[in-house]
Structure 1
Amino acid sequence: MISVPVELLAICGSTRAGGNTDQILQYTREISSERGAHLSIVNLRDYHFSVSGTCVDCNDRETPCELKDDMPYITDMMRKADGIIYAVPVQGFGMGHLMQIFIERSGVCYLRFERPLTNKVGGVIVTGRRYNHNHVYSQIVNNLLLNRMIIVGSGFPALLQGGKPSEVLGDIEGLDSVRRMVNRMIDMVKTIKHYSLLTNQSYLTFNEGNERMIGEDLLQPLKKH
């Protein structure tokens, strides 16, 4: 079988360095390494990025945001990755605020113009005490689908329970779900790359344009009648 490199990127939305979410991502990195894949981790707490909407013209712009911060650097890493894992803790019965701000800003101000994450493989890890994991998980999955990413089935979602430090490392079923998800992501990336290498083409539709323009496209056939 042809050997292909696999580059994964994990985006960590935890404000707590060394906490449960960080520990799970270290576990994820070990799994990736065992499979010969490389996993980079972006800790959002280490970067500066603005809140979306402060310029007022977000929905009217046709070019990326002009505010100067670290967001272009992060989105560039996302463009280069084969697969992206979003890891976030549950806070206040919802998504941790860093990830919420990041998803809004990256999506509205950068990703929606060209949809560069199209056909990249996506995964989700949610950590927290025994409350509202599914809500946060569903919110991120919807965002991945909005960005036209590929989400692989892996049995149970990677939802890990634990509030005290290192407590998630005792969630055996949760750890197994993470392992299955990461392995399936790597398998899917390799499948896509192998096909492209063998055929010099992709079997996945990519060039769909910006959905804000789709109304005009749909009207074209109607105008002929």
Structure 2
Amino acid sequence: MASHGPWATIAALNGSERPDGLTARVLRVLAAAAAEHGVHMDVVPLAEYDVTPCGRCGDCNVRPLPCAVDDDVPALVDRLVRADGVLYAAPVHGFGLAGTMQNFVERAGVGHLRFERPLANKVAGVVVTGRRYSHDRVYGQLVDNVLLNRMILAGSGFPAFVHDQFAPDEDHEGMAAARGLIDRMIDMLRVLLLPHGGREDTARILSLPRNERAGLLPLAG
């Protein structure tokens, strides 16, 4: 399948300010995992784009049209709309969501996505990186954004939290959860996008065995 080009695309938002930090390294591993299934991961490093923070205009609650600020947000939103799935990946900063991702979800959500909810029914996942603290707070905020946009949230068992005391291939449990998330997203994409044999085949795809303990083996990256 992969030799004929990708059959699906996952847009992966890297919400870290660091161009080669842990979040970027994790996404490289996950992009390679997706490629094994013939799926292209379009990694979007938000720090490399012009994402203006929400300003003082305050007209977003009454404005019937998308935000008029001239920056890269409309083009970034278009990349998400054109993708089949969306992966939100961000680090914990100051016990909360990193500012780069925070600026994007505010501008994209209030300024562009809420008018027609163009991400509805896309498969979504969330990966959080950081030290030992507050992963769950950031995870909850991003999950709320996924659900607000009426996307289909894929679960992998344990939430995909990766700790930065380790290289990605050393935090075996965190990376096993992240890799399981990608597998689950791709299973859902198969059901939604590819021809299959009805209810029984759908049940087979979505119940493929996933041994979480086996996933603790080191991952090649």
Query: After superposition, where does 1:28-47 map in structure 2 within 5 Å?
Result: 28-47=30-49
Matched, 1:112 2:110: no
In the TM superposition, what is the alpha-carbon distance from 1:67 to its structure 2 partner?
A: 1.1
Q: Deviations over 1:157-198 (max 9, x none)?
A: 1001114xx634310011111111001101101101136x98
Distance 1:111 1:12 in 2: 19
Distance 2:78 2:197 in 1: 27
Distance 2:130 2:123 in 1: 24
- Cross-structure match for 1:223: none
Distance 2:169 2:17 in 1: 19
Distance 1:134 1:119 in 2: 24
Distance 2:114 2:54 in 1: 13
- Cross-structure match for 2:125: 123
- Cross-structure match for 2:208: none
In the TM superposition, what is the alpha-carbon distance from 1:63 to its structure 2 partner?
A: 0.6
Q: How many residue pairs are counted as aligned between the two chains? A: 195
Matched, 1:77 2:85: no
Q: Is the 8 A contact 1:9 1:39 kept in 2?
A: yes
Q: Secondary structure at the match of 2:66?
A: coil
Distance 1:112 1:190 in 2: 27
Q: Secondary structure at the match of 1:126?
A: strand
Matched, 1:49 2:51: yes
Residue 68 and residue 198 in structure 1: after superposition, are their counterparts in 2 closer, same or farther (change >3 A)? farther
Distance 1:167 1:193 in 2: 34
Q: Is the 8 A contact 1:52 1:108 kept in 2?
A: no
Of the two, which has the highest radius of gyration?
Answer: 1
- Give the aligned residue type for 2:24: D
Q: Is the 8 A contact 1:127 1:168 kept in 2?
A: no
- TM-score normalized by the length of structure 2: 0.84
- Cross-structure match for 2:104: 102
Q: Is the 8 A contact 1:52 1:109 kept in 2?
A: no
Q: Is the 8 A contact 2:14 2:43 kept in 1?
A: yes
Q: Deviations over 1:95-121 (max 9, x none)?
A: 101111110100000000000000000
Q: Is the 8 A contact 2:60 2:111 kept in 1?
A: yes
- Cross-structure match for 2:149: 147
Distance 1:157 1:170 in 2: 17
Find the partner of 1:136 among 135, 138, 141: 138
Q: What is the identity percentage for the equivalent residue pairs of Structure 1 and Structure 2? A: 45
In the TM superposition, what is the alpha-carbon distance from 1:153 to its structure 2 partner?
A: 2.0
Cα-Cα RMSD: 1.9
- TM-score normalized by the length of structure 1: 0.82
Q: Is the 8 A contact 2:125 2:155 kept in 1?
A: no
Structure 1: unaligned runs, 5 residues or longer: 200-225
- Cross-structure match for 1:213: none
